[in-house]
Amino acid sequence: MSAPPARLQERLDNIVDMVRALSKDTDPVRSVQEYATSMRRLFNDQGLISVSMRGVPAGQYRVMRLLHERGAHWEGIHDTLFAGRDARAHEGGFIGDIIASGKPYVTRNLNLPDDPVLGVQLAGYRTLVAFPVFDQGIATNWAIFLHTRTDQFDDRDIEMWALQVNLMGGITNLKRLTREVYEANEYIQRQVDEIANIQRSMLPQKLPRVDGLDLAAMYETYDRAGGDYYDLLRVRSLQGASAEDPRWLILVADASGHGPSAAVLVAMLSALLHSFPGAPESPSDVLHYLNRHLLTKRVYNAFVTAIAAVYDPRDGSITWASAGHPPPLLRRECGTVLNMPLLEGIPLGILPETNYTTESVVLEPGQCMLLYTDGITEARSRGAEMFGTERLMQSLGVCGRSAQQSLDDIVERLRAHEAGQHQDDDQTMLVLRAKDAPAAN
């Protein structure tokens, strides 16, 4: 196989180097510079002027870059497209006349010893080729090629440049848009992270000490910010409640959707829960209150499933009501786990008139209740099989463990089922275990 002539090989190598560099560089300004300096290597004694009409009145323009025949020398002229609109706007002069024509311009007899805008910077050139560069059908820039010789550029070169400069303009605009999208995405992600931090700050930073109960909780979001929520409040901490009330108010909730919108809905729910007036007579009172006030916020196409419970340490009783939420699981004896009845109640934020029924049990020493969101039972394996309620009940069925040990066992089995699959929902669990009775002396 014969090699191309040395001069052609050199030019081809320069072109390959340019294309390779352009493919790697994400910065549009550097891409234009790489293109210009590569053209300088291909055509000795070449100059380049880049002109922009973006952001200036009709008839005006900004000189963006100058590449002189003495070599690649950038004059420090600001780039209005990428670096801010600080470059001076001009009108008239030789460039102004070219722009006013709106058509490509070619001359091999350039004789411009002085120009009102560029001064003597064109004095050494004899050939000038100018092309408009289009963006969405509008000539927003001009590329002006210069050479000190009159015979350097043939018609094929000029035709090629007409295509090249617009292809390069398209590449530059794509890189600019890509960078803008990247920067916008970075900004959005920072905002989402802030929302996620705020959301997590609404969760109990440390589980409280509750008389008669051993507690453990697990909370993981599908994305940075999520729509699950759990909380435990002393009833006596609510405004207007008796300071002697020993009960605890418990809430586990799941807002519709994912991400920031669900997190904002959860933030509203948390604020409403902490503003509940007085001591609730029943957990259904809490759900009615939350539903009524969520509806006043007019959050359309959004709702929250929730389970509210009241625990009384005086007798170990737990009373709960559900707003379309999965019912609790109750472990009474080793290996015996009951799925509590599915109570009447539609999710919060849908209808103003609702009916929330209640159920109660007394937790005996060693017995355990699990409150959870549907991200647990709907977690899928690699074969798309759900974890399901039966597996969850089996995981909870082991006795003789603390609340944390029971929770850890469930999580271990859940993760084994998922086998590394990224789930598409938030996951929350709260384990309430009645403490063992003190040993007899």
pLDDT of 407-439, one tens digit each?
999 999 999 999 888 878 889 999 999 988 665
**Total residue length of the chain:** 441
Task: Give Dmax (Cα) for the chain.
Answer: 114
- Give domain status of residue 187, yes or no: no
The CATH number of the domain holding residue 58 is 3.30.450.40
Q: Are residues 82 and 119 in the same domain?
A: yes
Number of domains into which the chain is organized: 2
The enclosing domain of 253 has a CATH number of 3.60.40.10
Same domain, 176 and 288: no
DSSP string, 120-152: TTTTT--EEEEEEEEETTEEEEEEEEEESSSSS
Q: Look at residue 193 and tell me if it is in a domain.
A: no
Q: What does the alpha-carbon distance between residue 35 and residue 27 come to, in Å, rounded to a whole number? A: 12
Q: What is the pLDDT of residues 116-136, one digit of tens each?
A: 888 888 888 899 989 888 888
Q: Which residue type does 3 have?
A: A
Kindly state whether residues 160 and 210 are assigned to the same domain. no
pLDDT digits (tens, 9 = 90+) for 220-278: 887 777 789 999 999 998 888 898 999 999 999 999 877 778 888 888 899 999 999 98
Instruction: Name 130's bridge partners.
Output: 105, 144
Q: Which two tokens stand for residue 331?
A: 């472990």
Tens of pLDDT, residue by residue over 158-197, are: 787 777 777 777 777 777 777 888 888 888 778 777 777 7
Across the beta sheet with 248-255, the strand order is 228-234, 248-255, 304-312, 317-323, 358-362
Looking at the structure, tell me whether residues 375 and 251 fall in a common domain: yes
Q: Return the pLDDT at 15.
A: 67
Same domain, 136 and 232: no
Angstrom distance (rounded) from CA 339 to CA 330: 7
Give the C-alpha separation, 429 to 133, whole Å.
60
- Between CA 401 and CA 408 the distance in angstroms is 10
pLDDT beyond 50 at 288: yes
Q: Are residues 306 and 346 in the same domain?
A: yes
Each residue of 372-413: pLDDT tens digit?
Answer: 999 999 999 998 899 999 999 999 988 778 999 999 999 999
The string of pLDDT tens digits covering residues 35-76 is 666 666 665 557 788 888 888 888 899 887 777 655 433 343
In a domain, 359, yes or no: yes
Q: What contacts 155, CB < 8 A, 6 or more positions away?
A: none
| DSSP β-bridge partners for residue 107 | 128
Question: Is the CB of residue 325 less than 8 Å from the CB of residue 308?
Answer: no
Distance CA 312, CA 277 (A): 19
Q: What is the pLDDT of residue 68?
A: 66
SS3 287: helix
**Residue-level pLDDT at 37:** 67
Task: Give the pairing type, strands 248-255 and 228-234.
Answer: antiparallel
Average of per-residue pLDDT values in the chain? 83
Tell me how many degrees the CA angle 290-348-310 measures, rounded to the nearest 5.
Answer: 55
Same domain, 153 and 219: no
Residue 198 lies in a domain: no
Strands (DSSP E) contained in 302-414 are: 304-312, 317-323, 329-333, 336-339, 358-362, 368-372
Does residue 189 lie in a domain region? Answer: no
Over residues 321-330, the mean pLDDT reads 96
**Same structural domain, 31 and 89:** yes
Residue corresponding to tokens 């920031």:
260
Residue 403 is predicted with a pLDDT of 93
283 and 335, same structural domain?
yes
- Model confidence pLDDT, tens digit, residues 6-39: 766 776 777 677 767 766 777 766 776 676 666 6
User: Comparing C-alpha atoms, which of 42, 162, 156, 52 is closest to residue 103?
Assistant: 162
* Spatial contact of 221 and 196, defined as CB atoms under 8 Å apart: yes
In a shared domain, residues 214 and 120: no
Structural contact between residues 318 and 364, judged by C-beta atoms closer than 8 angstroms:
no
* The CA-based dihedral angle spanning residues 198, 202, 203, 207, taken in that order and rounded to the nearest 10 degrees: 130
**pLDDT (0 to 100) of residue 52:** 86
152 in a domain, yes or no?
yes
313: containing domain: 204-434
pTM as predicted: 0.66
Same-domain pairing of 111 and 231:
no
Among candidates 175, 173, 112, 174, which has minimal Cα distance to 144?
A: 112
23 and 88 in a single domain? The answer is: yes
pLDDT-derived band at 83, boundaries 50, 70, 90: very low
Residue 192 belongs to a domain? no
Report how far residue 361's alpha carbon sits from residue 191's, in angstroms, rounded to the nearest whole number. 43
Share of the chain above pLDDT 90, in %: 37
- Residue 77 confidence (pLDDT): 36
Straight-line distance from the first to the last Cα atom of the chain, in angstroms, rounded to the nearest whole number: 100
Give the model's pLDDT for residue 192: 74
Please determine, for residue 79, whether its predicted confidence score (pLDDT) is greater than 50: no
139: phi then psi, degrees, rounded to nearest 5: -75, 100
Q: Is residue 197 part of a domain?
A: no
